[in-house]
Amino acid sequence: MIKPIVEIGDPVLREPTRPVSYEAVTTEPVQSLIDDLIDTMRHADGAGIAANQIGINLRIAIIGVDHNDRYPYKPHLPMQVLVNPTYRTLDDETYRNNEGCLSVPVRGYLDRFMNIEIEALNRNGEPFQQVYRGLSAGTVQHEIDHLDGFLITDRIDDNASISTWENFRRHEYDAFVDSIADAIIRTEPRGDT
Ligand code: NI
């Protein structure tokens, strides 16, 4: 079911989310929440969504990009459910990203790590590890920030770069996509399209 998305200023976005117990992952309420997150993310054309963005304080996020109108430059990223995700960086390499958020009406520039590895549970409660690189790594860091109570407004380090989506498209989009060519090429995991 599509749910309303909580916007910046709501305290639920600032509370670190609670981990889901292993036994609870496969219960009906948690499975319904996961389905709601998927429906809401697709409806909003997001590249990811965290449970607290629909007002639920649980450490669950979804990521996935499939012919996304908001992000046409983003490589295909298979839909994934991340329960209790944490990440570690594989090295110090970063790239400059311009990020927006379904809960924030503006975008801006910030740094993201290029290469990370996560540990999480899938929606069956099974643990997995996965390496992400490039834009996928940025998306995962953005969602884990949500689960820790952080927003892009905490990470944007150049306030003069803040813009609406419409003005980003008009004035910054082409230069930005050129600037992240390397991060796009190195994006993993990617599907076969
Ligand atoms: Ni967001």
Residue 65 is predicted with a pLDDT of: 77
- 124-169 pLDDT tens trace: 999 999 999 999 999 999 999 999 999 999 999 999 999 999 999 9
State both tokens at 43. 């409806």
Residue 149 CA to ligand 1 center (angstroms) comes to 11
Interstrand relation of 94-101 and 60-65 (parallel, antiparallel or unpaired): unpaired
E strand or H helix that includes residue 130 = strand 127-133
pLDDT band, very low/low/confident/very high, at 104 (cuts 50, 70, 90): very high
Catalytic annotation, residues:
143
Q: Is pLDDT at 80 greater than 80 in this prediction?
A: yes
Q: What percent of the chain has pLDDT over 90?
A: 85
| Alpha carbon of 158 to ligand 1 centroid (Å) | 18
**77 or 164: whose pLDDT is higher?**
164
Say how many Å lie between the CA of residue 179 and the centre of ligand 1: 22
Question: Ligand 1 centroid vs 100 CA: distance in angstroms?
Answer: 7
Burial bucket for residue 69 (CB in 10 Å: 0-12, 13-18, 19+): exposed
Cα–Cα dist 58/60, whole Å? 6
- Pick from 81, 185, 187: nearest CA to 143: 81
User: What is the structure's pLDDT at 75?
Assistant: 77
Could you give the CA distance from residue 179 to residue 107 in angstroms, rounded to a whole number?
Answer: 16
CB atoms within 10 A of CB 142: 24
**143 alpha carbon to ligand 1 midpoint, in Å?**
6
Tokens of 141: 């860091």
pLDDT per residue over 167-193, tens digit each? 999 999 999 999 999 898 888 886 443
Interval 2-31 mean pLDDT: 97
pLDDT at 76 (0 to 100): 79
What's the gap in Å between 18 CA and the centre of ligand 1? 18
State the Rg of the chain over Cα.
Answer: 16
pLDDT at 6: 98
Q: What is the pLDDT of residues 29-73, one digit of tens each?
A: 999 999 999 999 999 989 999 999 999 999 999 998 776 666 677
Which pLDDT value is given to residue 193?
39
Please work out, in degrees rounded to the nearest 5, the angle formed at the alpha carbon of residue 182 by the alpha carbons of 64 and 154.
Answer: 60
CA distance 53 to 147: 9
pLDDT of residue 155: 98
- The whole-angstrom separation of Cα 127 and Cα 119 is 7
Nearest to 147 by CA among 78, 70, 58, 80: 58
Residue type at position 99 = E
User: Phi and psi (nearest 5°) for 54?
Assistant: -115, 20
The whole-angstrom separation of Cα 22 and Cα 89 is: 25
